[in-house]
A and B are shown apart, each in its own frame.
Chain A
């Protein structure tokens, strides 16, 4: 049994209309049936483009949004059906690091106050002194000076603020930390510092992460298992290495080929799969496979009528595509979508 199990989690937001009567005219299917398991001490990376529901899923685990259906089981307890007060107590065990480090820190609270608030709420530390000692330990762990205690969020740089956000999660000794785009607001060199910090902390404290990000390269770097989301559901899930070595879902293939690699030699020689069009609206997702409207490998049958389930193709590599095996074997050809041939290597180096 894994530490955190999500089973068929759905989050649907009602679309309301009308002045007097709140008529529900439809739903936004933000998360539409996600099943995944996060092992203790490992990192699960959730990747997808904006609007795919990855952030909503992260918030659903903490019940910061209402779960429409499905279960979120942490260590044997189903969070989805817990009464509010019980849930509040459980939140100590699942903490979140947010994307915008300045927006998620109260500008009027100093760091000690920010960090001790959660401890007081959950009854960690007998008194102020004990909490302060604990906070100082954590601050040292995340690489902040001890004199940070009496300072305010605006006095820190972006990277330091993100460290404060991580420290705030750590002081509660959580079982799982959900990192929602932990580095996307940071500059490249600071990004690397924070990524390294997250990895070091995992190693020294045995933390479990659920990392949500849009940057496939970042997710691949820190995750043991990666789940790729598209329009509210997982389309592929695999151990980090096998996902990169052999992406099976057409969307993953396209996503991977679109990630720029900082190496001109690689950039010039690899094939690009350009997707046409934009993400369909999650309020009226396409029937059948959610991806069939943009899929370069779309077939005549099944794709637009039957919704593919996530199935294991061996080695824990799960994919939700009717034709994944055939595409991998090369028996199903690409039917649409622009393929950009690699730039000839003849282009002389300047």
Chain B
């Protein structure tokens, strides 16, 4: 049984007069003793919110946390405040991204480290100071006795992060959550800190949940990797498996976006087009569909499930996974223009509303196809120009967060309408949009 198992975690932010924002919409993973599990994704994918939810650090008002998180048999979300405070620091500990703002600027380092020792281990006075000095020494801070008396601003960035790690490991926690622990640091310092974390895991058997946007860090550190997009896990695999055969188009695209130090020069990068703002709600289909080169109509028919298209244990949330060899991921299986071609054939053959199980472009009712064709230029440019997708005026500004954008959201709804009603002639407002957007994109 794993040390921490998170099952369908959801976090929703609500504010009066605004639409709910679902930052995390169903993330499941587990962490074993001595295991390093990575949560990877770009900003806005919900990775930090996941960690805050697990630590019970989200504000109570305006936040709804759903799903389950079991830590060694205890339900973390069912704990009372006092019990949770007891767990935090002694069983669970967290390292934050920005060490300067996570340390109290007007309190010496020593006091901040001994505080946790007296709180959880009952150490006082000289005994606590001695232990604190030992901890600073443990994380590689030279001259720890002197450093204990210093204030955070007197320490360098790397040193501050070490102090923060010292505080986190003070009570030998069984699970350490590191939220972008090296993002604010220089590479040579980052290498030192990562080495330190590795040591802690190897020597103490601490489980580590590593949250980062840097796939390079993940490659060197994590055993199991979860790639998040728009609040959901899109791919989960062992690190060698994931990097050898990234199967979700997003994971594949991310790997193609990174300039590698050891790659031959002169090859252009293969970026994922568009930005995180171009997404649709998971309820309507795959949130990544608007940016995806493997996008077909199937992508818009409800949330894709996690499947294992390659090897057991390698889970992918995609209906058209990238199964070709690595590096071929950017070759579009079905490009947007093909869908437009599909429109013509759809019109010629008349309405067909059979089961949607067919692979690739099936031919649903013309109304549906038109709507998708309208959505396509709005969400993805012609693949030759890998630019940021222009925000098209009639479609309105895409709402940040997990909300349905007007352009992307209109498509799936129309699909359902046309399918349900079996109404071939239904072209609600789509033609006007279809007429506008190509000109927008082309200008």
Known contacts A262-B243, A267-B219, A274-B195: A188-B254 contact under CB 8 Å: yes
| B191 and A199 within 8 A (CB) | no
Q: Which residue of A lies closest to B242 (CB)?
A: A264
Q: Digitize A127-158: 1 where CB-to-B-CB distance is under 8 Å, 0 elsewhere.
A: 00000000000001011111110000001111
Cα of A144 to Cα of B253 in the assembled complex, Å: 22
Min CB–CB distance B439 → chain A (angstroms) = 10
- Which B336-386 residues have C-beta < 8 A from chain A? 385-386
| B270 and A192 within 8 A (CB) | yes
Cα of A336 to Cα of B277 in the assembled complex, Å: 49
Contact of A50 among B186, B192, B262, B443 (CB under 8 A): B186
- The reply on B1 being an interface residue by CB < 8 A is no
Min CB–CB distance B290 → chain A (angstroms) = 13
Cα of A267 to Cα of B386 in the assembled complex, Å: 30
| A262 and B397 within 8 A (CB) | no
| A261 and B259 within 8 A (CB) | no
| B239 and A264 within 8 A (CB) | yes
- The reply on B218 being an interface residue by CB < 8 A is yes
- Which B41-59 residues have C-beta < 8 A from chain A? 42-43
Min CB–CB distance B146 → chain A (angstroms) = 15
| B261 and A188 within 8 A (CB) | no
| B189 and A278 within 8 A (CB) | yes
- The reply on A173 being an interface residue by CB < 8 A is no
Contact of B159 among A196, A240, A278 (CB under 8 A): A278
Which segment, of A2-10, A77-85, A102-110, A211-219, faces chain B? A211-219
Cα of A265 to Cα of B242 in the assembled complex, Å: 12
Please report the number of residue pairs spanning A and B whose Cβ atoms sit closer than 8 angstroms.
182
- Which B191-224 residues have C-beta < 8 A from chain A? 191-192, 194-195, 213-220, 223-224
- The reply on B258 being an interface residue by CB < 8 A is yes
- The reply on A350 being an interface residue by CB < 8 A is yes
Cα of A192 to Cα of B269 in the assembled complex, Å: 6
- Which B220-272 residues have C-beta < 8 A from chain A? 220, 223-224, 238-241, 243-244, 253-263, 265, 268-272
**Interface size of A by Cβ–Cβ distance < 8 Å?**
63
Which residues of chain B are within 8 angstroms of A259 by Cβ–Cβ distance?
187, 216, 261
Which residues of chain A are within 8 angstroms of B244 by Cβ–Cβ distance?
265
Which residues of chain A are within 8 angstroms of B219 by Cβ–Cβ distance?
260-264, 266-267
Cα of A155 to Cα of B243 in the assembled complex, Å: 35
B residues at A contact (CB < 8 Å): 42-43, 142, 156, 158-159, 186-192, 194-195, 213-220, 223-224, 238-241, 243-244, 253-263, 265, 268-273, 275-277, 385-388, 390-393, 397, 440-441, 443
Known A159-B275, A222-B259, A264-B243; 16 more pairs at CB < 8 Å: A145-B443, A157-B275, A158-B275, A187-B275, A188-B257, A189-B253, A195-B269, A196-B268, A220-B261, A260-B219, A266-B219, A274-B192, A278-B189, A279-B156, A349-B238, A349-B239
A residues at B contact (CB < 8 Å): 49-50, 140, 142-148, 155-160, 163, 187-193, 195-197, 199, 214, 216-218, 220-222, 240-241, 244, 254-268, 272, 274-275, 277-279, 338, 340, 349-350
